[in-house]
């Protein structure tokens, strides 16, 4: 896959985060009211699981993962942690299964170009993954999934 290099990554990143928010709400319409977690099902596809890690008045921090088996030591991937800004209507990836949180990688705030590139890659991946999940038509139920979330 060729790399995309927009002229203004900061503006494009905000656009991607706004798009990720809309896509996440299309995928899981009741995300604002989830108690703890939910499971998305699609025919012949691995479960898609969402777990609420943190909740405040204006934000949710969630983990979104595919579960490839139903065994206790399953492989969970891509396992992204996303901060959902309910008031600003943005969803930003904090980390994924392969990369650490940006705040742990870049301790020097002067490395804005590297930080922006890092965030761009994480959020562009989420954009494409959410497109994929929406195209498969995952359906989420309101039942709690805490018994299967490890």
The helix-helix angle for 112-136 and 9-27 (nearest 10°) equals: 30
Domains of the chain, residue spans: 9-140
Pick the closest to residue 79 from 125, 116, 132 (CA basis).
Answer: 125
Q: Is the pLDDT of residue 140 over 90?
A: no
Pick the closest to residue 34 from 42, 47, 45, 25 (CA basis).
Answer: 25
CB-CB contact of 103 with 6 (8 Å) = no
pLDDT digits (tens, 9 = 90+) for 21-56: 999 999 998 888 887 888 889 988 888 888 999 999
According to the model, what pLDDT value does residue 47 have? 85
Global pTM value? 0.79
pLDDT digits (tens, 9 = 90+) for 58-88: 999 999 988 766 655 555 557 899 999 999 9
């Amino acid at each position: 896959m060729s790399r995309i290099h927009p002229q203004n990554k900061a503006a494009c990143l905000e656009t991607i985060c706004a798009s990720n928010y809309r896509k996440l709400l299309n995928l899981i319409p009741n995300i604002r009211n989830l108690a703890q977690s939910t499971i998305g099902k699609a025919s012949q596809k691995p479960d898609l699981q969402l777990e609420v890690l943190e909740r405040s008045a204006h934000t949710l921090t969630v983990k979104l993962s595919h579960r490839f088996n139903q065994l206790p030591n399953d492989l969970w991937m891509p396992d992204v942690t996303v901060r959902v800004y309910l008031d600003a209507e943005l969803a930003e990836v904090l980390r994924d299964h392969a990369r650490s949180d940006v705040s742990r990688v870049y301790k020097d705030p002067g490395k804005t170009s590297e930080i922006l590139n890092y965030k761009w890659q994480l959020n562009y991946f989420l954009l494409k993954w959410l497109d994929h999940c929406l195209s498969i038509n995952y359906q989420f139920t309101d039942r709690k999934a805490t018994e299967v979330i490890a």
